[in-house]
Amino acid sequence: MYLAKIIAYISILVWLLPPFKQLKGGYFLYFLISGYSDPLAILLGEVFRLNPYYTHLLIAFLLSISILFYSKKLNSKWIASLILLLILSLWLGNKNTIFIPIIIFRFLIILQLLISFSNEFLLKQRINIYLSVLIFYEITIILKYAAVGCNYSLGIYFYYLTSVFGMLICLFFIFYNLQNSPLIKLHSSVVD
């Protein structure tokens, strides 16, 4: 478990950096919440003995709100629906099922990112690497929670493995934001 603690602490430190790059021209709120989620979970767990799953549920809720904000789809219906899902998750959820609403929130994030990715692909005929990496990162997060939720003893190893991989993804977001992301431009005949 010594190696797991080292991975966790390095991951926490690395994820504190992307919000600075995303401040102008990126998903700043998303990266701010992501970057400070693990320190917040540790703090709430140590001080208030709050189960980290509940902290991660709240963080997944806030991340989905931030993505809706950036996709300009944040309205009262979405907020009410997400709050209802959060309340039901807290009320009905237990230690064994709390990962399910986290996955649902993360899946909503992927859907919104896919819409942005598709719009750019179809309207501007280009592939935005930034959005591709962000979608891929969210998929790894879903796989991480699913692995831990399905089989804790084996899933925890997968959790730390994907955390290492997440740090490599984080390096991309330290250097690139939505404005300066590499693009793959397609010829119009490819899309037709």
- The candidate with the shortest Cα–Cα distance to 59, out of 73, 45, 72, 76, is 45
Question: In the prediction, which pLDDT does 160 show?
Answer: 79
Spell out the residues 6+ positions from residue 100 whose beta carbon is closer than 8 angstroms to its own: 89, 93, 149
**How many structural domains is the chain composed of?**
1
Q: What percent of the chain has pLDDT over 70?
A: 96
Look at residue 48 and tell me whether its pLDDT is greater than 80: yes
Mean of pLDDT values over 176-180: 92
Best mean pLDDT range from 2-6, 18-22, 150-154: 18-22
> Of 71 and 152, which is predicted with more confidence?
71
Residue pair 52/41 in contact by the 8 Å Cβ criterion: yes
Token reading at 69: 């904000």
The boundaries of the domain holding residue 72 are: 2-191
Mean of pLDDT values over 173-187: 90
Token reading at 81: 């629906």
